[in-house]
Amino acid sequence: MDFVCVGKIIKPQGIKGEVKILPLIDIPAIFNGKHKLYIEKKLSEINHASFRLGYGYVQFKEITDRNLAENYRNKLVYITKDEFDSLAVDEFLIDDLIGTLLYDENNILVGQIMGVENYGFDDILIIKEDGHIYEVPFKKAIFKNNNRKLYVIRKEYDGAKVDQE
């Protein structure tokens, strides 16, 4: 089974064993109590869960008090990749993007994603096209997601050439 890390338990919350989770992805619905969560890739049943003020708050059945919750500090929380794919409409995992072939809207091959960088604002796709390497911001104005397949809808990045091979 493949997993996607969705958060990190940062501390106990209250005396009944609830934990505060720092989300590592931008899909708050994961912390609504309707999805299976795994602590360190081991399935954990949920008593209740919520998302407030930018954090997930979860009461797992096996964590019954604050002392037990303290043992879970810094543990990672996961969901299955299948569940992530069903939730993440416009989200992609970096591992899924690398190697992806890009087509224009006429289904003509444009290039291939060779890597992903993040310099603090947007993810930057490293695209190889006709022997040239381009760095292109991963924005909806440039790329279209159609059924988890990416299409280039605005190809104005020729001036962004970085390297030649």
Which alpha helices (H) appear in 76-130, and where do they start and end? 81-87, 94-97
**Is the model's pLDDT at 62 over the cut of 70?**
yes
DSSP-H helix ranges across the chain? 66-70, 81-87, 94-97
Q: What percent of the chain has pLDDT over 70?
A: 87
**Residue 104 corresponds to which amino acid?**
D
What are the structural domain ranges in the chain? 3-87, 94-164
Partners of 17 in the beta sheet?
A: none
Residue 129 CA to residue 158 CA, distance in Å, equals 10
Which of the four pLDDT bands, split at 50, 70 and 90, describes residue 76?
Answer: very high
The confidence score (pLDDT) of residue 88 equals 64
| Least confidently predicted of 75-79, 89-93, 97-101, 125-129 | 89-93
| Global pTM value | 0.66
Please give the CATH superfamily to which domain 94-164 belongs. PRC-barrel domain (2.30.30.240)
CATH topology of domain 3-87: Elongation Factor Tu (Ef-tu); domain 3 (2.40.30)
Collapsing DSSP to helix, strand or coil, 133 comes out as strand
